Amino acid sequence: MRISDRYIGKQVLLGTLYAVLVLGIVLGLGNLFRQIKPLLVDQKAPLELVLRFVLSVLPLSLMYTIPWGFLSAVLLVFGRLSSNQEITAFRVAGLSLLRLSAPVFGIGLLLSGLSLWLNLNVVPSSRSVAQQLIYEQATRDPGSLLKPGVVQGDFKGDGEGIQKMLIEGKNGDWLEGFHLHILPAPKTVDGDETYVHAARAALSVDRLKSQLRLKLEDAYFETRNAQGRVDMAFAKKAEPLVIDLKNPQHRKVRMNAMSNEQIRDEIAHNAQLTEQRKVFMQTEITSRFSFSLACFAFAFVAVPLGLQARRQDSSHGLMLSLLIGAGYFVFAMLADHFETNLGATLVLWTPNVACVVLGLWLFRRARYK
């Protein structure tokens, strides 16, 4: 290994680590607090549960911050080397620009391998952890799920309707002013709508059946069917009113939380899947591979573009990285609008191919400067 490889490789690695850290804080902190607030503030979850939640969210941000951080680091490092005339000194010593870029391509390839491992193994399982942690908090302290004056809509049955709760206050173990709306499931034509009100309610959890059971006092029940007929009932005491918590481990796994093998098995054996749904599922697999190669593709375009940046204008490199990174990930959103697997695949791989082709052309231009 040449001294130049160690010199450039060290700067790119350190720059990438620093950029990933900064981007992770800037891009992920707000979203992390938004997701963690119900556990930490509203539900007063134990510290151990909160830490598990934070660790589960980190891999999701790394999907984007690793390639974006690598791109920023290469642009800034080569911009500084160019402004200090170090690139010129290396080339006078007989090293070509392509040879100087060898450590960048090596690091890009390693980071792409890391991204592939994260996207295939870590990220899918991390996506389902948040809901699982909320379920654990519900079984530990069901009353903590409900905050006075805040509508709680996390209770949802599979095809049994959407359930929303509201309480007016708390008094010890009792919930004061309990309200429950059970709305028809989406796409249900003739579902009933139910409203329940109770002066007081007490909660308990049936762990075996994954159910939240309520003891109601001074309760009022109202059911409205699709034809507009309303049935009402009153009860001094009523128990139990049962609401499914639906342990996420027993639910049908969401597509983005499945492994590639699970997705392929679902496509092959689920006869109820529509063609559009199959395209979405195949697109999920393709996006995991295409995103994973972003670091290696960025290496082609970042080196020659970085040579054009000036040290006294470091914002130039940062702006380039933001524009390239944003343009790259916009293609992922465009893929969702295609109705064929071929169209979605072409869109997802286009930014990688474009970076390589554009980078080779810029390398060729830079050789003669």
Task: Kindly report, residue by residue over 209-225, the tens digit of the pLDDT.
Answer: 667 778 899 999 998 88
Instruction: Give the global pTM.
Output: 0.69
Phi, psi for residue 256 in degrees, rounded to 5: -75, -5
Which tens digit of pLDDT belongs to each residue from 279-335?
888 888 998 999 999 999 999 998 888 887 554 455 565 677 778 877 887 877 777
Distances, alpha carbon 283 to alpha carbons 98, 128, 347, in Å: 34, 19, 10
Beta-carbon contacts of residue 294 (< 8 Å; ≥ 6 apart): 67, 112, 115, 328, 351, 352
CA-CA-CA-CA torsion sign (85, 91, 95, 97): positive
pLDDT score, position 369: 60
pLDDT score, position 45: 56
Residue whose C-alpha is closest to residue 354's, from 322, 331, 321 = 331
pLDDT score, position 31: 58
